[in-house]
Amino acid sequence: MGQVSEVDGLGVKKLKFSVLAKCFEFLEGTSSRLEMTDILANLFKDCTTEEIDKVVYMLQGTVAPPFRGIEIGMGEKFVQQAVSNASGVPKEEVVKQYKTLGDLGDVASNILPKKEGVLTVSQVYDAFMKIATASGKGTQEVRINALTELLKNSSPEEAKYLVRIPLGKLRLGVGDATIIDALSVRTVGDKSMREEIERAYNLCCDMGLVAKTLYTDREAITNFQIKVGNPIKPALAERLSSAEEIIEKIGECYVEAKYDGFRIQLHKEGDKIELFSRRIERMTHMFPEIVQAAKEQIKGDAIIEGETISYDESTGEFLPFQFTIRRKRKHGVEEMAEQYPAIYFAFDILYNGKDLTQKPYLERRNILEQTITEGEIIKISEKIRTGDPQELMRFFNENIGRGLEGIVAKDLNAPYIAGARKFAWIKLKRSYKGELADTVDVTIVGYLAGRGSRAKMVGALLGAVYDEETETFKTVAKIGSGMTEEQMINLKKMLDQIKVEKKPKNVDSLITPDVWTQPQYVITVSADEITLSPSHTCGRTKDLGYALRFPRMISWIRQDKKPEDSTTVKEIIQMYNIQKHAKTE
């Protein structure tokens, strides 16, 4: 890679951005997770404590963790102007080359003068932070000028990535697990620290902070502490097909109502309240009534997990998820709060001045009930305690009759396992004749075009589930049902904004759609059953994968889930086995 750093006037070594750009290039050229891990581990060895968090954030295409709400994002027109300013090439020519090459990063690399870059990683990070935090009058000019200055001081190879980062088109295919593995390899020479590093990450959702902590004090990773204001990755439930299986698996348990709402993690420190979605996005301003109620109904500092669900004031009935998700917006919040008032059902507590995640659920539930004074807005989830399958089913049917999704059974002795799907929690959901017992969240990776009079619509969506082992998306269905014409038109418009010329490197597909898209949008689908298929790559072995039979979309884009939150390949295989077991009974 040549010279990796330069020394400033104080004798401090600074990592050159050209090293990071070369690393990006190597990552772009491989789909092997082992190779990616080695590339990153070598890069991390060259980083100082002051640089490592900045490098990690830029690998993720950002300058801060998602819950900070700080985004670099610049529109194509503004980036085109910056490229024109830096190169001296008229903007019309930049646009013309963009239409030919299809990538503004390649355009910048093509037209900027051939020279050696002088930028350091810290200089680039600081400039991107300036772009991300610019506000008020003249914001766009500030952003364009900041990017222009970066490009003027860069080599063509560096310019490619300086342009792709603010456009959100870095597309390296590097997932969190690969970064965690690389940090472990850099630190101890192998992946033996992975579990410790992953635990720390799950407790703060800030990979830059984890990396900096590791560089500063390795022991602090082992003893990583929860911090109010840093969201904790949510624990996830496994699924079984019957009350008998649940009781057989975990014995006497708490059985809670499962609400079809918006999962929210509530952080309270004094009178400061923050709300985070399961995507680790800050949602505080979207639910002002919950924020106010938290100040009045929650004792002391706390981190609480709960489900927010909208209801009809005139009837008192809970509304489907599609209504609750309408509360997720930047503008018109107060009007939406009046139209779709919400109740927050708390179901777990993770912190009350000290870390509670290692406490058994029974103890956490008791603390939760002592921490919350129930009121109109914040309530505690309904529950029963039972070891009787028939009593469990009675409670299940009662909740189905009230329009809820079903129940979640919880092991009384289990700790809170952040970011993992374990049998500590087991869900049982309603199903209808001819349907799977659970829905599937799929990520859209492409679409088949509508024909003739339907040319302005998508014809069918190519849906994929997530493979945690390879950090790739495996196809599981072509979805052409369950959408209105208006939705099919809107989907085409949305997907055309993120279309790409060739299959994304983190997508595994034997099917070639008319249009490939970046994995970005998640939808929920139902299906009649899961079948074996020669066409799909989900769980593929011996020329057969798993596929959804007669899939249909049942909810619009899941704004509460990111692509990595899709149903996993492992879950699809489990659902297939549950289905097979049910058919033999």
Catalytic residue among 22, 258, 410, 562: 258
Q: Flag whether 91 is in a domain.
A: yes
Look up the domain containing 563 and give its range.
440-584
Which residues in 466-481 are b (16+ Cβ under 10 Å) and which e?
bbeebbbbbbbbbbbe
Please name which of 324, 381, 341 lies closest in space to residue 560, comparing C-alpha atoms.
324
For position 342, what pLDDT does the model report?
A: 85
CATH number at residue 286: 3.30.470.30
Q: What pLDDT, on the 0 to 100 scale, is given for residue 102?
A: 86
pLDDT for res 316:
66
Please name every residue paired with 275 in a beta bridge, in sequence order, or none if there are none: 266
Terminal alpha carbon distance of the chain:
62
Same domain, 410 and 337: yes
397 shares its domain with 540: no
Type of residue at 482: G
Burial of 242 (0-12, 13-18, 19+ CB in 10 A): middle
pLDDT at 177: 93
Identify whether residues 395 and 444 lie together within a single domain.
no
258 is catalytic: yes
Is the domain of 253 the same as that of 115? no
Q: Which long-range contacts (CB under 8 A, 24 or more apart) does 154-157 make?
A: 154/17, 154/112, 154/117, 154/119, 155/18, 155/21, 155/112, 155/114, 155/115, 155/116, 155/117, 156/108, 156/109, 156/110, 156/112, 156/113, 156/114, 157/18, 157/21, 157/22, 157/25, 157/109, 157/117
Give yes or no: residues 416 and 452 share one domain. Answer: no
10 in helix, strand or coil? Answer: coil
Q: What is the CATH number of the domain that holds 549?
A: 2.40.50.140
Domain membership flag for residue 198 = no
Same domain, 404 and 444: no
Q: Is residue 181 part of a domain?
A: no
What tokens were used for 397? 């049917």
Q: Which of 377, 403, 429 is the last residue of a domain?
A: 429
pLDDT along the chain (585 residues), means of 10: 52 83 94 94 95 96 91 91 94 93 92 90 96 91 95 95 92 91 96 95 96 94 93 92 93 92 94 92 89 96 94 70 70 70 93 95 97 95 95 91 86 94 89 68 94 86 94 94 90 92 92 94 92 93 91 86 92 85 55
**In this structure, are 281 and 414 located in the same domain?**
yes
pTM for this one? 0.84
Q: Tell me how many domains the chain contains.
A: 3
Judge if 405 and 455 occupy the same domain. Answer: no
Shared domain for 481 and 403, answered yes or no, is no
Measured distance CA(370)–CA(251) in Å, rounded: 25
